Structure formats: C-alpha cells, structure tokens
Structure 1
Amino acid sequence: MRDVKAVQQELRDQGVKYVFGFYVDVHGVPKSKCVPLESLPSMASGSELYTVGAMEGMGELGPHEDECEGRPDLDRLIVLPWDGRFAVAPTELHLHGRPYEQDSRNALVRQVAAARELGFTANVGIEPEFYVIRETADGWKPLVASDADNGPTRGYDLEATLLAEPFLGPMVEYMNQLGWGVYSFDHEGGDGQYEFNFDYADALTMADRMVVFRLMAKHVARELGCIATFMPKPFQDDFGSAAHINVSLADAISGANLFAENDEPGRYSDLARHFTAGVLAHAGAISAVVSPTVNSYKRFTSKGFMEEISWAPVYQAYGENNRTLMCRLPVNRHCIEVRTADSAVNYYLGMAMVLGAGLDGIRRELDPGEPLNQDTYRLSAEELEKLGAKSLPSSLGAALDAFETDSVAAEVFGPEFHRTFLSYGRQEVHEYGAVVTDWETRKYLRMI
C-alpha cells in the first residue's frame, strides 16, 4: 500500500478536504464515516469502527459485541470528479484481526485470490442500464418528456440521445476524468433509460468503480431535478434494466486472455467452456445473487405488458449471440456475458458468485454442451426440452431455494454470510407475499 503521508499530501495538493472509507451493505449501498484529511493516517491504521449489525444484511453483531474495523485500500482511492473536496477509498472490514466474513467486498477478495492461486487474473466489464426520471403530478416521467411520444421504443434514437445531453454529457466527462475509458453510451429501449460502455478492469477495481458509478449517476440526475433509479423493472410496460457481467480470465503473468482460442474471433478455449459450464451448473444460486430482489423477476419475461419483446434472458443455457439465454459467448470479444445480472446487483457479491461458479467448472472440467443459437421465445415447450434449455428461476423464492443447497454459494459466502443472505432474502419474499397490490384490488374487489 502507498505511504499514507504521501497520499495525504497528494490529496491536499488536489484540494481534497474529506475522505470516506466505504464498504457496502447487502444491497451494494455504500456506508462510511467521513474523516477530515488531517485524520487520514489514523483512518488508514484502522481507527474507524463500525457497528455493522445495524446495517442491511451484514450479520447480527449486537450492541454488546465488538465493532468491525475499517481498513481502507489507499491504492484504489478515488477523488470524486463532481466534488473534489471528497475522496473515497474501498475498505475491507475486519473483526478481531481477521477479515469480516459478512463484508461483501471480502467475498470477492477471496474469489480473486482463488483465481490467482490457479494462475488467473479475473477481468470484468459491466454494461449498466438504469432510468433517469422525474416525479410529476401525473406520476414518474422520463428525463426527456418527448421520449414517450415515439412508441414503442426510442432505443438508440439519435435525437433522444442528444436531448439527454444535460445528463449524459457530465456522466461521460466524469467517467473519463477517472480514466474509465468510455467508448460508447446510448439511449436504451425504455423511456428515460440509458446505458454506458467503458473499459474492463480487474474484478475488484470494477466492483469498486460501480459503487462510484451509482453515486455519480444519482448526483448528476439530482442536479437536473430527477432521480437515477437502479430498480430492475420500474415500469411494467417498459424495459427492465440489466447490468450484464462480462468475465474473462487472463494469465496472471502475461495478461493474455485465456478464453481466446488462437486469438480467432468467435473461437473459445476449453478453459472458457469449462468456466461457462460452471456458471450454468450453478445458475439458480447465481440468480439469487445477481437478481436479488422480488422485482428482479418481473424482468424475466419475453414480453409481458410491453408492446414488443423484452430481450430478457429466460433460459439456463448459453449461445453465441443469443440474448434470450442466461449466458452468451460473444463473437466480437472473448468473455462470458452473464445476462441475468440486473441493475440492483451488489457487484461484489455478483462477481464473487459468478467467479466462484466458473472456477468450479474449471476445476471439475465441466462441459457446457453445444451452444443454443435459436430464438427460444418462439420455441415450444417440447422443442425447448429436446434442446435441454431449462427455465431460470421465475421468482426470488425459487432462486433462494437453489442458493440454499448450492455448495459453491456456501463456499463463496462462507457459512455465516450464507445464512444471513438467505434469511434476508426469505424475509423479503415473505413481506412481498403479504402485500395486497393495486392490481389485486382492481381485479378482485368487485368481481368476487
């Protein structure tokens, strides 16, 4: 780790006054105390303590028990480009001198280390989608009011993208100031829905960046009188928001992409196939982690109340360019794209679970079979069964059932965190099941 005094002086020269050493709760929401720059040396030595039992899904450390110690990673510190008075540093929580098991980032640290032991560096790219909307007397409306005028979708629409420049422009500027390498951005299919594409990074760096990305999007939207929402399916008649996780393994020494077969486009190595098979073998448990809310499963439909198909993954299989499936092995880059991940994902846990499953497939040399390159939305149940395409979990409860008995999930999370995550998810399912919705009232109140 860099010398703390040198970091402190560098930040002082940049005008930084305060530092956050953040960790995240089970939802991936960052938590931290704010430390004046003068106190950075004590913070770096672990002076900041946290009663994480009060946080969402981080265990049950009670008021009578010891607190967790935060140890910031100053090598990964980021100065916020929209307010240079503040810097943030990802922080690992420790309890009694050991990494706290129920800290999401520690789960990813363990899987990154497991990959390193096998000689791999895990690289990840994310394709985040989300809505920017404003609250009006008539309900939630898109950032650009005219989005709703051109049905059924303004996806990729040039004019709609230009009109959203007050949001998109600052986002791209801030991301590039941080060196993230934005290479495209667009108006997605939903009214007020956007996506950014930027350079991949090692798994830990990317997970840390996505925490800052969400903060950034919320800030820029707020400046325009809007909110940026990462709810997976905010509107029943519009597109859901995904956050595809693109993973590849590189040689830890040379950096060469080990998923590529002779660097030929569209040709994948046996290692990539084993990794893919591992992800598919643990698809149910992965779903519980990368699609972590009851709302997530409203996204997994071919159409629903929408005017056109959703492009959402609904089957436990892989294809080359088949977007109806859980996994894709793209022909224009060498990685596995996990399409079930949505905008609510805790990136530390989502990446950890995908990486753990893929490494299990490598260790056991699993075979994913042949790719499925047909439009599964148009196939009958009999045709799907013949092709071996199983349905993904259709609810959070079903996904948690798979998570509960999955050995890799238990290993990735550790026994205590595994129980906590399961219990927290079960409680959400229970609460959701007890809610009487407007749809039920409209349908049944007078009918029966």
Structure 2
Amino acid sequence: MSAALTPEIESLKSSLEAQGVKYALASYVDIHGISKAKMVPLAHLGQMMQGSELFTGAALDGVPQDISDEEVAAMPDPKSATVLPWNPEIAWFASDLYLESRPFEACCRTILKNMLAQAAEMGFTFNLGIETEFFIFKENSDGSFGPVSDRDILAKPCYDLGGLLDNYPFLTELVGMMNGLGWDVYSFDHEDANGQFETDFAYADALTMSDRLTFFRLMVKELARKHGYFASFMPKPFSNRTGSGAHYNMSLADRSTGKNLFEDPADLRGCKLSKLGYQFIAGILRHAKAICAVTCPTVNSYKRLIRKGSDSGFTWAPVYICYGNNNRTNMLRIPLAGGRVECRAADIATNPYLGAAMILAAGLEGIRDGLDPGKPHTENMYTYSLAELETMGIDLLPRTLQDAIAAFDADPLSTTVMGPLMQKTYTDFKRQEWEEYHTHISDWEIKRYLKFF
C-alpha cells in the first residue's frame, strides 16, 4: 500500500505524472561520488520519500558498515527532482543516507550539508561553480580507443574548431539537455587534449552544484553510450596530454541579501577581492595538502599535478600552494573580474560533496582566524626552481596519493569535516587503493627491467 502523501509530495507526483514519468530513482553516492540507486514505480513515490529504499552498506565502496549492520535508507530531497532528459519516464532524486531514522554520519551529502549549516550560522551562503572537463572516446576494432574524430590529432588541439564540429551531434545534444534542466550553459569547447571537452554553466549554491555534477557525470556517460562512444572522467588518460580538471569557482554571499561578499572593486592588491575573500584563501592554503586528498582522489590524479606533462607545452594544473591574480600557475586564481576564487587543483574524479565540504571548512577557518595569504603572485610560478620556491616559503601539493592521504590523516580538519568514522574510512580506503597500485607490476616496469638485468 502506498504511503499517504503530503501536499508537497502530492503536487510533485502530479507534476511528474504530467511529464510522463513512470519511475523514480532514490539516488545517493558512494565514496567515489558515483550514483547508486533503487528504482520505484511512481505510485509508490510517497513511501520512497519517507525512506522506504534500504541499502546494504557493506556492498558499497566506502560505506562503513558490516554485513550484520542495519541497512541505510535513502531519504530523497524533493527539491532535487530531475527528469532524465534521455529517458523522460524516469526521475532522479539526490538523497541523504539515514541509519535508524537519523542522518548517517558517513553520508557524503550530509557531510556537505553540515558544513553549509556552519556557513549559514556565520551568515553565509556558499556559492560554487564547477568547470566540467571530460573525454569522449570511441573504441577501435583492435581494442584500443581514441578520439571520436579522425582529424582530432593536433599536437595543440585546444579550441580546435574541427574537432568541436566533428563532435557537434553529441555536444549539442548534451548542451540542450543541460539547458533544458535550467543549468544555463554559457560556453563549451574542445580542450587541450585530443578527445577532451569542457562545458561551463551557471553557478549555484554548493549543494545544488554538487548534485548537478553528480548528475552531469551520469548524463554524459549515458549520452555517450547512446552515440556509440564512451565518456571518461579519469583525470589523466594520457601521459603526454593534459588532464581533466573540475575547477571549483567559489564565493560567499550574504545569506539575507544574496550580495557577493568577495567583491571589492577598491581592493588595493589589485584582484578586486574583499578582505573576507583573502581570509578564505588563506584558510585553503593552510589546509591545501589535506584538501588535495579529496579534490584529487585517485592514484591517477597526481599524474595531472605535475610541472610539465603535455605535448602542448603546458600542464594547466597547479603544483604550488599559492594564490594569484588572473594567473593559471597558482593553485588558487582570482579571475580578472574578481569576486570569486578558483581552485585549479581539483580534478573531474572529485566527489563534489566531500571536496566542497573540505574546502569550505578550510575557508571558514581562515575567516574565523582572521588569516591573511600575503601578496598575490602575478608571475609564472613554473619559472622558479624548487630552491627559489623554498626560499619564498611556497610548498608543493602532494606528489602522490600516498602523500596526500598522509596529509589528510594528519590534519585535524579532516576529522572536523567528516567525523571520525568517515575520516578513518576515507583514509583506510585510499591507502588500500595506493597499496594495490604500488604492488601492481606495470607495462613500463616489464619493458624497462625484464631483459635489462
């Protein structure tokens, strides 16, 4: 028997029925930020919204439960209802995980909501825009893969119009879907690697943006499959090409008026950023290494964070813990118009809920402690030697996942944000990921050593 519907859910159900929706997805994410779900006939929407869909946490990556524990329940957020553009018979709901009728402490979305509540107590709304870089590939008959376009072979393919037009059927359908959802795409292009693209769309509050990035990755994968391709959100598929970032564009707004509190046209440092914005930056720089473990969460992520790694001559990814003006060689960049801060370290494999929670917590700490990040760097940071950087007091981001997790584990901020259970779960899971990689025998080792010694 279906549960009695509240007026809000009754109205939502009627709206979905009018759109031809037949099923609803109670969806949440695992430790990777990847959607998991159960599908429910729309007739049972009421009970789904009350947490009827249960999940065995032990069957999932990074959900810290034993098989003997009570199941977690997905509690959908009605405001997140999204009809699948590629299958309008299904509606997707971002959900929080509950355990025994209370929020589950290791739920990624709840962790972000807890940090947003702290920001709200300080009078702030955390706004976030995430730039989405990704690869679209086709599989070849010999088992290899490559760009969809046969002419997407330039040594410097960034902004290549031919590659963009050859992928137009896929891209225009994707952008149409995004705009149909009200995301307001304002630009898309061919990026700096073959088969790589970027879409840019309007910012939103951090919870909405995290929900959208989660849905975006699902949508791109499904749409690519429809076209006979596959999408990759691997941070760096090729050693000689640039990787895929997910730059976090951040600002704080007054919770009552909506005014951007990072804007200051009279800024004496020349970045059009407010004192509050500089304090936010200083907090992020203080905890940059621990944040990196979450915004750059894979072994592969650290093959993107290098000084030079592309045939085009640039890495486009930062390796130094510093900030600057409209200068892409810093970890934190203040774009020309000011009023926001861009973290360039984050990559497209990030779990946006955990990444946003960590970076917000660090920024709020900078505000509470009245920190100052010093003068902005306007120069090309890659021209300095390591010795010069050390003299300047500029440290490097972690070089490997192992280093990043060590910093994450040692930094009290990680426990403050995630709680003891999720902090330990994340640390243990990522250390195991590193160990599995470290003990794997690669093709590079076979070619280099098998007949050498």
Cα offset, 1:332, TM superposition: 2.1
Q: Deviations over 1:32-56 (max 9, x none)?
A: 1100000001111111111112110
The answer as to 2:118 corresponding to 1:127 is: no
Are 2:315 and 1:310 aligned? yes
Distance 1:181 1:307, change over 3 A: closer
The aligned residue for residue 372 of structure 2 is 367
Partner of 2:73: 69
The answer on whether the counterparts of 2:272 and 2:337 sit within 8 Å (CA) in structure 1 is no
Deviation, structure 1 residue 168: 0.7
Q: What residue identity is the alignment partner of 1:266?
A: C
1:265-414 map, 5 Å:
266-304=271-309, 306-414=311-419
- AA aligned to 2:96 is E
- Aligned-pair distance for 1:266? 3.2
Q: What is residue 103 of structure 1 aligned with on the other side?
A: 107
Q: How much is the aligned-residue C-alpha RMSD, in angstroms? A: 1.4
Aligned positions of 1:41-56 closer than 5 A: 41-56=46-61
Once the two structures are superposed, residues 235-274 of structure 1 have per-residue CA deviations (whole angstroms, 9 ceiling, x without a partner) of 1111101000111000001000000115878311111011
State the partner residue of 2:438: 433
Measure, in 2, the Cα distance between the counterparts of 1:35 and 1:393.
43
Q: Give the direction of change, closer, same or farther, for the CA distance of 1:335–1:307 in structure 2 (3 Å limit).
A: closer
Deviates more, 1:299-308 or 1:313-322: 299-308
CA contact (8 A) 1:2 1:75 kept: no
CA deviation profile, 1:270-324 (whole Å, cap 9, x unmatched): 1101100000000010000000000000001122363512121010110112212
The answer on 1:180 being equivalent to 2:165 is: no
What is the Cα deviation at residue 138 of structure 1?
6.2
Corresponding residue for 2:209?
206
Q: Secondary structure at the match of 1:33?
A: strand
Please tell me whether the aligned partners of residues 105 and 348 of structure 1 are also in contact (alpha carbons under 8 angstroms).
yes
Residue from 89, 93, 114 that aligns with 1:89: 93
**Pairing of 1:115-154 with structure 2 (within 5 A):** 115-136=119-140, 137=142, 139-148=144-153, 150=154, 152-154=155-157
Q: Distance in 2 between matches of 1:306 and 1:56?
A: 36
**In the alignment, does 2:118 pair up with 1:114?**
yes
Indicate if the aligned counterparts of 1:278 and 1:362 stay in contact, CA closer than 8 A.
yes
Separation of aligned partners in 2, 1:112 and 1:381 = 37
CA contact (8 A) 1:122 1:250 kept: yes
AA paired with 2:390?
A: E
State the secondary structure of the residue aligned to 2:186: strand
- Other structure's SS at 2:307 match: coil
Uncovered stretches (5+) of structure 1, i.e. residues with no partner = none
- Aligned position for 1:229: 232
Question: Which amino acid counterpart does residue 167 of structure 2 have in structure 1?
Answer: A
The amino acid of 1:62's aligned partner reads D
- Corresponding residue of 1:443: 448
Matched to 1:93, the amino acid is: L
Task: State how far apart, in whole Å, the 2-side matches of 1:262 and 1:117 are.
Answer: 27
- Displacement after TM superposition at 1:381 (Å): 2.2
Residue 429 of structure 2: SS of its match in structure 1? helix
Task: State how far apart, in whole Å, the 1-side matches of 2:272 and 2:439 are.
Answer: 49
Structure 1 residue 424, shift from structure 2 partner: 0.1
What letter matches 2:13 in structure 1? Q
Displacement of 1:436 in angstroms is 0.8
CA distance 1:262–1:305, change in 2 (3 Å): closer
2:199 aligned residue = 196
239, 244, 249: which is aligned to 1:241? Answer: 244
Is the deviation greater in 320-329 or in 162-171?
A: 320-329
Shift of 1:2: 6.6
One-letter amino acid of the structure 1 residue matched with residue 205 of structure 2: D
Q: How many Å apart are 1:197 and its aligned residue?
A: 0.5
DSSP-derived class of the 1:414 partner: helix
Instruction: Answer yes or no: is 1:171 the counterpart of 2:174.
Output: yes
Aligned partner letter, 1:300: L
**Which deviates the most, 301-310 or 286-295?**
301-310
TM-score, normalising length: structure 2 = 0.96
Distance across 1 between alignment mates of 2:204 and 2:410: 32
Aligned to 1:393, the other structure's residue is in SS state: coil
Instruction: Say if 1:187 and 1:228 are closer, same or farther in 2 by CA, change over 3 A.
Output: same
Q: Which letter maps to 2:165?
A: L
**1-structure distance, mates of 2:122, 2:231:** 39
**CA gap 1:2/1:167 in 2 versus in 1, 3 angstroms:** farther
What is the distance in 2 between the residues matched to 1:284 and 1:421? 15
1:97 to partner: Cα distance:
2.4
Matched positions, count = 445
Range moving further from structure 2, 193-202 or 136-145: 136-145
